[in-house]
Chain A
Amino acid sequence: MAGTAVLGRLIWQFGTLAELVQETPKVASLILDVPGWTGHLAGQHVDVRLTADDGYQAERSYSIASPPEDSRLAITVERLDDGEVSPYLVGELRKGDKLELRGPIGGYFVWRGDDERPVLLVAGGSGVVPLMAMIRHRAANHLKTPTRLLYSSRSLDDVIYRAELERLASAGDGLSVAHTLTRMQTPGWSGYARRIDSAMLAEVAWPKAQMPIVYVCGPTPMVENVASLLVDMGYDPASVKTERFGATGG
Protein backbone atom coordinates (compact mmCIF):
# COMPACT_ATOMS: atom_id res chain seq x y z
CA MET A 1 0.00 0.00 0.00
CA ALA A 2 1.20 3.45 -0.82
CA GLY A 3 1.00 4.65 2.78
CA THR A 4 3.23 1.96 4.13
CA ALA A 5 5.67 1.53 1.27
CA VAL A 6 9.23 2.24 2.12
CA LEU A 7 11.24 4.05 -0.46
CA GLY A 8 14.76 5.29 -0.21
CA ARG A 9 15.94 8.61 -1.44
CA LEU A 10 15.53 9.06 -5.17
CA ILE A 11 19.08 9.56 -6.31
CA TRP A 12 20.23 11.29 -9.48
CA GLN A 13 21.55 8.72 -11.89
CA PHE A 14 22.77 8.64 -15.45
CA GLY A 15 21.04 7.29 -18.49
CA THR A 16 22.75 6.93 -21.86
CA LEU A 17 20.79 7.66 -24.99
CA ALA A 18 20.65 4.37 -26.86
CA GLU A 19 18.11 5.33 -29.47
CA LEU A 20 16.13 8.34 -30.59
CA VAL A 21 12.77 7.71 -32.25
CA GLN A 22 11.15 10.63 -34.04
CA GLU A 23 7.46 10.03 -33.36
CA THR A 24 6.04 13.16 -35.04
CA PRO A 25 7.67 16.33 -36.38
CA LYS A 26 7.77 17.78 -32.84
CA VAL A 27 7.86 14.69 -30.66
CA ALA A 28 10.63 12.18 -30.06
CA SER A 29 11.11 9.20 -27.80
CA LEU A 30 14.41 8.94 -25.96
CA ILE A 31 15.33 5.32 -25.31
CA LEU A 32 17.80 5.24 -22.44
CA ASP A 33 20.07 2.67 -20.88
CA VAL A 34 19.89 3.33 -17.15
CA PRO A 35 22.15 0.98 -15.22
CA GLY A 36 20.66 0.18 -11.83
CA TRP A 37 17.16 1.41 -12.68
CA THR A 38 14.99 0.00 -9.91
CA GLY A 39 11.85 -0.29 -11.99
CA HIS A 40 8.64 1.71 -12.21
CA LEU A 41 4.89 1.50 -12.58
CA ALA A 42 3.00 2.42 -15.73
CA GLY A 43 1.96 6.07 -15.40
CA GLN A 44 4.93 7.33 -13.39
CA HIS A 45 7.37 10.04 -14.43
CA VAL A 46 11.02 10.99 -14.04
CA ASP A 47 12.81 14.24 -13.34
CA VAL A 48 15.46 15.20 -15.85
CA ARG A 49 18.29 17.62 -14.96
CA LEU A 50 20.53 19.42 -17.42
CA THR A 51 23.77 21.12 -16.39
CA ALA A 52 25.55 23.82 -18.39
CA ASP A 53 29.33 24.20 -18.30
CA ASP A 54 29.11 27.02 -15.74
CA GLY A 55 27.00 24.90 -13.37
CA TYR A 56 23.62 26.38 -14.35
CA GLN A 57 20.95 23.71 -14.08
CA ALA A 58 17.40 23.19 -15.33
CA GLU A 59 14.99 20.44 -14.24
CA ARG A 60 11.76 19.18 -15.79
CA SER A 61 9.49 16.16 -15.37
CA TYR A 62 8.64 13.74 -18.18
CA SER A 63 6.26 10.82 -18.24
CA ILE A 64 7.74 7.39 -18.75
CA ALA A 65 6.56 5.80 -22.01
CA SER A 66 8.06 2.35 -21.60
CA PRO A 67 6.33 -0.40 -19.64
CA PRO A 68 7.96 -1.77 -16.49
CA GLU A 69 8.88 -4.90 -18.47
CA ASP A 70 11.28 -3.15 -20.88
CA SER A 71 14.97 -3.32 -20.16
CA ARG A 72 15.39 0.26 -21.36
CA LEU A 73 13.68 3.37 -20.08
CA ALA A 74 11.82 5.49 -22.62
CA ILE A 75 10.52 9.02 -22.23
CA THR A 76 8.62 10.78 -24.99
CA VAL A 77 9.17 14.52 -25.24
CA GLU A 78 7.36 17.21 -27.17
CA ARG A 79 9.61 20.00 -28.33
CA LEU A 80 8.27 23.36 -27.18
CA ASP A 81 9.79 26.07 -29.34
CA ASP A 82 10.17 28.55 -26.48
CA GLY A 83 11.10 25.84 -23.99
CA GLU A 84 14.38 25.45 -22.16
CA VAL A 85 14.80 21.71 -21.72
CA SER A 86 12.67 20.11 -24.44
CA PRO A 87 14.55 21.73 -27.38
CA TYR A 88 17.71 20.23 -25.93
CA LEU A 89 16.22 16.76 -25.53
CA VAL A 90 14.61 16.87 -28.98
CA GLY A 91 17.23 18.46 -31.18
CA GLU A 92 20.56 18.49 -29.38
CA LEU A 93 20.87 15.21 -27.50
CA ARG A 94 22.62 12.51 -29.53
CA LYS A 95 23.07 8.80 -29.26
CA GLY A 96 25.67 8.03 -26.63
CA ASP A 97 25.08 11.26 -24.68
CA LYS A 98 24.45 10.98 -20.97
CA LEU A 99 21.33 12.35 -19.33
CA GLU A 100 20.90 12.89 -15.61
CA LEU A 101 17.59 11.74 -14.18
CA ARG A 102 15.87 10.52 -11.05
CA GLY A 103 12.70 8.58 -10.43
CA PRO A 104 10.29 6.95 -10.69
CA ILE A 105 7.96 9.57 -9.26
CA GLY A 106 4.25 9.55 -8.44
CA GLY A 107 2.15 6.84 -6.81
CA TYR A 108 -1.37 7.85 -7.82
CA PHE A 109 -1.64 8.16 -11.59
CA VAL A 110 -0.56 4.54 -12.07
CA TRP A 111 -2.11 1.38 -13.45
CA ARG A 112 -0.74 -1.90 -12.16
CA GLY A 113 -2.85 -4.22 -14.28
CA ASP A 114 -4.03 -6.20 -11.26
CA ASP A 115 -7.54 -4.79 -11.46
CA GLU A 116 -10.57 -6.33 -13.17
CA ARG A 117 -12.28 -3.03 -13.83
CA PRO A 118 -12.47 -1.83 -17.43
CA VAL A 119 -10.14 1.03 -18.22
CA LEU A 120 -10.92 4.26 -20.03
CA LEU A 121 -7.91 6.26 -21.16
CA VAL A 122 -8.42 9.79 -22.47
CA ALA A 123 -5.42 11.57 -23.98
CA GLY A 124 -4.81 15.01 -25.42
CA GLY A 125 -1.62 15.44 -27.48
CA SER A 126 1.50 14.29 -25.67
CA GLY A 127 -0.71 13.44 -22.69
CA VAL A 128 -0.86 10.01 -24.32
CA VAL A 129 2.63 9.18 -23.02
CA PRO A 130 1.82 7.81 -19.52
CA LEU A 131 -1.27 6.11 -20.97
CA MET A 132 0.94 4.40 -23.56
CA ALA A 133 3.02 2.97 -20.73
CA MET A 134 -0.22 1.43 -19.41
CA ILE A 135 -1.20 0.07 -22.83
CA ARG A 136 2.29 -1.40 -23.30
CA HIS A 137 2.21 -2.88 -19.80
CA ARG A 138 -1.13 -4.50 -20.66
CA ALA A 139 0.28 -5.92 -23.90
CA ALA A 140 3.53 -7.12 -22.35
CA ASN A 141 1.58 -9.15 -19.80
CA HIS A 142 -1.05 -10.39 -22.26
CA LEU A 143 -3.73 -8.85 -20.07
CA LYS A 144 -7.26 -8.88 -21.44
CA THR A 145 -8.52 -5.98 -19.30
CA PRO A 146 -11.18 -4.24 -21.43
CA THR A 147 -9.48 -0.98 -22.36
CA ARG A 148 -10.55 1.96 -24.48
CA LEU A 149 -8.35 4.85 -25.51
CA LEU A 150 -9.87 8.09 -26.74
CA TYR A 151 -7.06 10.17 -28.16
CA SER A 152 -7.36 13.78 -29.26
CA SER A 153 -4.71 15.21 -31.60
CA ARG A 154 -4.50 18.29 -33.77
CA SER A 155 -3.94 16.38 -37.00
CA LEU A 156 -3.07 12.87 -38.14
CA ASP A 157 0.60 13.87 -38.38
CA ASP A 158 0.54 14.81 -34.70
CA VAL A 159 -0.64 11.38 -33.53
CA ILE A 160 2.11 9.85 -31.41
CA TYR A 161 2.60 6.04 -31.52
CA ARG A 162 0.10 5.80 -34.40
CA ALA A 163 1.34 2.57 -35.97
CA GLU A 164 1.89 0.84 -32.65
CA LEU A 165 -1.57 1.78 -31.43
CA GLU A 166 -3.08 0.49 -34.66
CA ARG A 167 -1.24 -2.80 -34.30
CA LEU A 168 -2.17 -3.27 -30.64
CA ALA A 169 -5.82 -2.36 -31.25
CA SER A 170 -6.07 -4.91 -34.05
CA ALA A 171 -4.97 -7.78 -31.82
CA GLY A 172 -8.56 -8.42 -30.75
CA ASP A 173 -7.64 -8.73 -27.08
CA GLY A 174 -9.98 -6.09 -25.74
CA LEU A 175 -8.18 -2.88 -26.59
CA SER A 176 -9.91 -0.32 -28.79
CA VAL A 177 -8.60 3.05 -29.89
CA ALA A 178 -10.68 6.01 -31.08
CA HIS A 179 -9.01 9.09 -32.51
CA THR A 180 -10.34 12.59 -32.82
CA LEU A 181 -8.55 15.22 -34.92
CA THR A 182 -9.37 18.73 -33.78
CA ARG A 183 -7.66 21.02 -36.30
CA MET A 184 -7.00 19.29 -39.58
CA GLN A 185 -8.57 16.17 -41.02
CA THR A 186 -7.06 14.07 -43.74
CA PRO A 187 -9.28 13.48 -46.79
CA GLY A 188 -11.30 10.35 -46.16
CA TRP A 189 -10.85 10.64 -42.37
CA SER A 190 -13.58 8.57 -40.76
CA GLY A 191 -12.80 9.20 -37.10
CA TYR A 192 -14.01 12.02 -34.91
CA ALA A 193 -13.18 15.54 -36.02
CA ARG A 194 -13.89 17.79 -33.04
CA ARG A 195 -12.89 18.44 -29.47
CA ILE A 196 -13.98 15.78 -27.01
CA ASP A 197 -17.58 16.42 -25.96
CA SER A 198 -20.34 14.64 -24.10
CA ALA A 199 -21.73 12.94 -27.22
CA MET A 200 -18.29 11.51 -28.01
CA LEU A 201 -17.78 10.30 -24.45
CA ALA A 202 -21.27 8.76 -24.47
CA GLU A 203 -20.18 6.68 -27.47
CA VAL A 204 -16.69 5.75 -26.34
CA ALA A 205 -16.78 5.60 -22.54
CA TRP A 206 -17.79 2.48 -20.63
CA PRO A 207 -21.26 2.56 -19.07
CA LYS A 208 -20.85 3.77 -15.50
CA ALA A 209 -22.47 0.56 -14.24
CA GLN A 210 -19.28 -1.28 -15.27
CA MET A 211 -17.36 0.76 -12.70
CA PRO A 212 -14.58 1.76 -15.04
CA ILE A 213 -11.37 3.34 -13.85
CA VAL A 214 -10.37 6.41 -15.83
CA TYR A 215 -7.04 8.08 -16.59
CA VAL A 216 -7.11 11.48 -18.27
CA CYS A 217 -3.93 13.24 -19.34
CA GLY A 218 -3.44 16.29 -21.53
CA PRO A 219 -3.53 20.06 -21.45
CA THR A 220 -5.49 21.60 -18.59
CA PRO A 221 -8.62 22.80 -20.48
CA MET A 222 -9.06 19.36 -22.04
CA VAL A 223 -8.51 17.53 -18.75
CA GLU A 224 -10.89 19.84 -16.87
CA ASN A 225 -13.53 19.42 -19.57
CA VAL A 226 -13.30 15.63 -19.82
CA ALA A 227 -13.25 15.11 -16.06
CA SER A 228 -16.32 17.34 -15.61
CA LEU A 229 -18.21 15.60 -18.41
CA LEU A 230 -17.49 12.19 -16.90
CA VAL A 231 -18.75 13.33 -13.49
CA ASP A 232 -21.86 14.73 -15.20
CA MET A 233 -22.35 11.29 -16.81
CA GLY A 234 -22.46 9.79 -13.35
CA TYR A 235 -18.87 8.56 -13.02
CA ASP A 236 -17.60 8.43 -9.45
CA PRO A 237 -15.14 11.37 -9.14
CA ALA A 238 -12.82 9.12 -7.15
CA SER A 239 -12.50 6.79 -10.17
CA VAL A 240 -11.29 9.57 -12.46
CA LYS A 241 -7.55 10.18 -12.19
CA THR A 242 -6.12 13.21 -13.91
CA GLU A 243 -2.66 14.40 -14.86
CA ARG A 244 -1.62 17.53 -16.74
CA PHE A 245 1.42 18.11 -18.81
CA GLY A 246 2.99 21.46 -18.39
CA ALA A 247 1.78 24.03 -20.88
CA THR A 248 4.69 26.28 -20.06
CA GLY A 249 8.40 26.49 -19.91
CA GLY A 250 9.23 22.86 -20.74
Chain B
Amino acid sequence: MSFISRGFRGKRRDTASSSRLPPGQYLVNDFPVLSAGPTPRVPQAEWSFVIEGEIDKPRSWSWDEFRKLPTEQVTKDIHCVTKWSKFDTGWTGVSVDTLLEGVDTAAEYVVEFSYGGYTTNLPLEDVTGGKAWVAFEFDGQPLHPEHGGPARMLVPHLYFWKSAKWVRGLRLVNEDQPGFWEQNGYNNYGDPWREQRYWGD
Protein backbone atom coordinates (compact mmCIF):
# COMPACT_ATOMS: atom_id res chain seq x y z
CA MET B 1 0.00 0.00 0.00
CA SER B 2 1.83 3.04 -1.22
CA PHE B 3 -1.04 5.51 -1.37
CA ILE B 4 -1.34 7.92 1.54
CA SER B 5 -4.32 10.20 2.10
CA ARG B 6 -2.57 13.55 2.45
CA GLY B 7 -3.11 14.97 5.91
CA PHE B 8 -5.07 12.02 7.31
CA ARG B 9 -4.13 10.87 10.79
CA GLY B 10 -7.21 9.03 12.01
CA LYS B 11 -8.33 8.04 15.46
CA ARG B 12 -6.38 5.03 16.54
CA ARG B 13 -7.60 2.47 19.01
CA ASP B 14 -5.48 0.73 21.57
CA THR B 15 -3.90 -2.48 20.39
CA ALA B 16 -6.30 -4.69 22.34
CA SER B 17 -9.31 -3.17 20.56
CA SER B 18 -7.58 -3.19 17.20
CA SER B 19 -6.94 -6.92 17.33
CA ARG B 20 -10.66 -7.51 17.87
CA LEU B 21 -11.69 -5.28 14.96
CA PRO B 22 -11.95 -6.94 11.56
CA PRO B 23 -10.46 -4.98 8.63
CA GLY B 24 -12.35 -1.84 7.64
CA GLN B 25 -14.49 -1.80 10.80
CA TYR B 26 -14.76 0.85 13.51
CA LEU B 27 -15.99 0.55 17.06
CA VAL B 28 -19.31 2.01 18.26
CA ASN B 29 -20.83 2.11 21.71
CA ASP B 30 -24.46 2.56 20.70
CA PHE B 31 -26.45 0.00 18.72
CA PRO B 32 -27.26 1.30 15.21
CA VAL B 33 -30.37 0.03 13.45
CA LEU B 34 -30.27 -1.21 9.87
CA SER B 35 -33.24 -2.54 7.96
CA ALA B 36 -34.57 -2.26 4.44
CA GLY B 37 -38.19 -1.50 5.30
CA PRO B 38 -40.71 -0.85 8.04
CA THR B 39 -40.23 -2.73 11.31
CA PRO B 40 -42.70 -5.65 11.52
CA ARG B 41 -44.70 -5.72 14.75
CA VAL B 42 -45.23 -9.34 15.75
CA PRO B 43 -47.18 -9.97 18.98
CA GLN B 44 -45.80 -12.87 21.00
CA ALA B 45 -49.25 -14.51 20.89
CA GLU B 46 -49.01 -14.70 17.09
CA TRP B 47 -45.33 -15.60 16.95
CA SER B 48 -44.10 -19.05 16.07
CA PHE B 49 -40.81 -20.51 14.97
CA VAL B 50 -40.50 -23.36 12.49
CA ILE B 51 -37.84 -25.63 11.06
CA GLU B 52 -38.84 -26.88 7.64
CA GLY B 53 -37.48 -28.00 4.31
CA GLU B 54 -35.27 -31.08 4.15
CA ILE B 55 -36.59 -32.58 7.36
CA ASP B 56 -38.92 -35.56 7.79
CA LYS B 57 -41.31 -33.73 10.04
CA PRO B 58 -41.23 -29.93 10.32
CA ARG B 59 -40.84 -28.61 13.84
CA SER B 60 -42.75 -25.67 15.23
CA TRP B 61 -42.84 -23.82 18.52
CA SER B 62 -45.29 -21.24 19.84
CA TRP B 63 -43.78 -18.45 21.94
CA ASP B 64 -44.65 -20.28 25.17
CA GLU B 65 -43.22 -23.56 23.89
CA PHE B 66 -40.11 -21.82 22.63
CA ARG B 67 -39.53 -20.12 25.96
CA LYS B 68 -39.60 -23.48 27.75
CA LEU B 69 -36.52 -24.62 25.81
CA PRO B 70 -33.14 -24.43 27.53
CA THR B 71 -31.52 -21.03 27.04
CA GLU B 72 -27.96 -19.82 26.90
CA GLN B 73 -26.42 -16.48 27.73
CA VAL B 74 -23.64 -15.44 25.41
CA THR B 75 -21.40 -12.39 25.08
CA LYS B 76 -20.19 -11.70 21.55
CA ASP B 77 -18.58 -9.06 19.35
CA ILE B 78 -20.80 -8.18 16.39
CA HIS B 79 -19.76 -6.72 13.04
CA CYS B 80 -22.10 -4.93 10.61
CA VAL B 81 -21.19 -4.72 6.92
CA THR B 82 -21.89 -0.96 7.11
CA LYS B 83 -18.60 -0.92 9.07
CA TRP B 84 -19.57 -0.58 12.72
CA SER B 85 -18.58 -3.22 15.24
CA LYS B 86 -19.81 -3.50 18.79
CA PHE B 87 -17.91 -5.44 21.43
CA ASP B 88 -19.25 -7.63 24.22
CA THR B 89 -22.93 -7.61 23.33
CA GLY B 90 -24.96 -9.75 25.73
CA TRP B 91 -27.71 -12.02 24.47
CA THR B 92 -30.07 -14.64 25.79
CA GLY B 93 -31.34 -17.19 23.32
CA VAL B 94 -31.88 -20.77 22.33
CA SER B 95 -28.99 -22.46 20.57
CA VAL B 96 -29.77 -23.67 17.06
CA ASP B 97 -28.20 -26.96 18.19
CA THR B 98 -31.08 -27.30 20.64
CA LEU B 99 -33.65 -26.62 17.93
CA LEU B 100 -32.05 -29.14 15.58
CA GLU B 101 -31.45 -31.81 18.21
CA GLY B 102 -32.15 -35.26 16.76
CA VAL B 103 -32.86 -33.89 13.29
CA ASP B 104 -31.59 -36.07 10.49
CA THR B 105 -31.08 -34.05 7.35
CA ALA B 106 -29.05 -34.25 4.17
CA ALA B 107 -29.30 -30.46 3.78
CA GLU B 108 -26.03 -28.57 3.56
CA TYR B 109 -27.50 -25.08 3.56
CA VAL B 110 -30.04 -23.13 5.52
CA VAL B 111 -32.22 -20.11 4.78
CA GLU B 112 -33.23 -17.91 7.70
CA PHE B 113 -36.62 -16.35 6.94
CA SER B 114 -38.41 -13.58 8.75
CA TYR B 115 -41.66 -11.81 9.39
CA GLY B 116 -41.70 -9.04 6.79
CA GLY B 117 -40.16 -11.28 4.11
CA TYR B 118 -36.42 -10.93 4.80
CA THR B 119 -34.21 -13.91 4.03
CA THR B 120 -30.53 -14.73 4.37
CA ASN B 121 -28.63 -17.89 3.47
CA LEU B 122 -25.68 -19.72 4.92
CA PRO B 123 -24.11 -23.16 5.13
CA LEU B 124 -25.81 -25.33 7.74
CA GLU B 125 -22.48 -25.85 9.47
CA ASP B 126 -22.37 -22.12 10.22
CA VAL B 127 -25.42 -22.33 12.48
CA THR B 128 -24.51 -25.56 14.28
CA GLY B 129 -21.80 -26.48 16.76
CA GLY B 130 -22.44 -23.58 19.16
CA LYS B 131 -22.20 -20.88 16.49
CA ALA B 132 -25.79 -19.58 16.29
CA TRP B 133 -28.77 -18.75 18.50
CA VAL B 134 -32.36 -17.59 18.26
CA ALA B 135 -32.02 -14.64 20.64
CA PHE B 136 -34.89 -12.97 22.47
CA GLU B 137 -33.08 -10.79 25.02
CA PHE B 138 -30.41 -8.13 24.58
CA ASP B 139 -28.56 -6.98 27.73
CA GLY B 140 -31.13 -8.83 29.83
CA GLN B 141 -34.10 -6.99 28.34
CA PRO B 142 -36.69 -8.24 25.84
CA LEU B 143 -35.39 -7.60 22.35
CA HIS B 144 -36.84 -4.34 20.98
CA PRO B 145 -38.69 -4.65 17.62
CA GLU B 146 -36.16 -2.27 15.99
CA HIS B 147 -33.46 -4.81 16.80
CA GLY B 148 -35.49 -7.79 15.67
CA GLY B 149 -37.84 -8.65 18.52
CA PRO B 150 -39.60 -10.80 19.52
CA ALA B 151 -36.64 -12.91 18.37
CA ARG B 152 -33.73 -12.68 15.96
CA MET B 153 -30.93 -14.88 14.79
CA LEU B 154 -27.50 -14.36 16.29
CA VAL B 155 -24.67 -15.63 14.09
CA PRO B 156 -21.88 -13.42 15.38
CA HIS B 157 -18.97 -14.87 13.39
CA LEU B 158 -20.47 -13.51 10.14
CA TYR B 159 -21.47 -9.95 9.18
CA PHE B 160 -24.61 -9.07 11.05
CA TRP B 161 -26.99 -9.16 8.07
CA LYS B 162 -26.62 -12.95 8.40
CA SER B 163 -28.37 -12.62 11.78
CA ALA B 164 -31.96 -12.18 10.56
CA LYS B 165 -34.21 -9.92 12.60
CA TRP B 166 -37.86 -10.94 13.30
CA VAL B 167 -36.88 -14.49 12.47
CA ARG B 168 -39.75 -16.88 11.77
CA GLY B 169 -37.87 -20.03 10.96
CA LEU B 170 -35.07 -21.95 9.32
CA ARG B 171 -35.47 -23.74 6.01
CA LEU B 172 -33.06 -26.61 5.47
CA VAL B 173 -32.10 -26.83 1.80
CA ASN B 174 -29.87 -28.99 -0.36
CA GLU B 175 -28.75 -26.17 -2.60
CA ASP B 176 -27.62 -22.73 -1.59
CA GLN B 177 -30.30 -20.07 -2.18
CA PRO B 178 -29.05 -16.46 -2.04
CA GLY B 179 -31.16 -14.34 0.32
CA PHE B 180 -32.25 -10.71 0.26
CA TRP B 181 -28.95 -8.85 0.51
CA GLU B 182 -27.09 -11.69 -1.17
CA GLN B 183 -29.19 -10.94 -4.28
CA ASN B 184 -28.59 -7.21 -3.89
CA GLY B 185 -24.83 -6.97 -4.15
CA TYR B 186 -23.68 -8.39 -0.84
CA ASN B 187 -21.36 -11.34 -0.36
CA ASN B 188 -22.82 -14.82 -0.27
CA TYR B 189 -20.85 -15.86 2.83
CA GLY B 190 -19.88 -12.66 4.69
CA ASP B 191 -16.82 -13.41 6.80
CA PRO B 192 -15.79 -10.10 8.42
CA TRP B 193 -12.20 -11.27 8.99
CA ARG B 194 -11.79 -11.79 5.25
CA GLU B 195 -13.74 -8.58 4.59
CA GLN B 196 -16.28 -10.39 2.42
CA ARG B 197 -18.67 -7.48 2.10
CA TYR B 198 -19.77 -7.53 -1.52
CA TRP B 199 -20.07 -9.79 -4.53
CA GLY B 200 -16.65 -10.97 -5.57
CA ASP B 201 -14.90 -10.13 -2.26
Contact = CB atoms under 8 A, between A and B. Distances in A.
Interface of A: 2-3, 7-10, 14, 47, 49-53, 55-61, 84, 88, 92-93, 97-100, 105-109, 220, 224, 227-228, 230-231, 237-238, 240-244, 246-249
A247 B26 contact: no
Nearest to B184: A107
Nearest to A9: B200
Given A51-B1, A84-B11, A228-B38, 13 more contacts: A2-B183, A14-B3, A51-B4, A56-B10, A59-B26, A106-B185, A109-B36, A227-B38, A237-B40, A242-B35, A242-B37, A246-B82, A248-B28
Contacts of B7: 88, 92-93
Nearest to B12: A56
B198 A58 contact: no
Nearest to A44: B185
23 contacts: A2-B183, A7-B199, A9-B198, A9-B201, A14-B3, A47-B24, A50-B10, A51-B5, A58-B26, A59-B25, A61-B83, A88-B8, A98-B3, A105-B185, A107-B183, A220-B146, A224-B146, A241-B36, A242-B36, A243-B36, A246-B82, A246-B84, A249-B26
Interface residues of B, number: 45
Contacts, number: 129
B83 A52 contact: no
A52 B9 contact: yes
B36 A100 contact: no
B34 interface: yes
B33 interface: yes
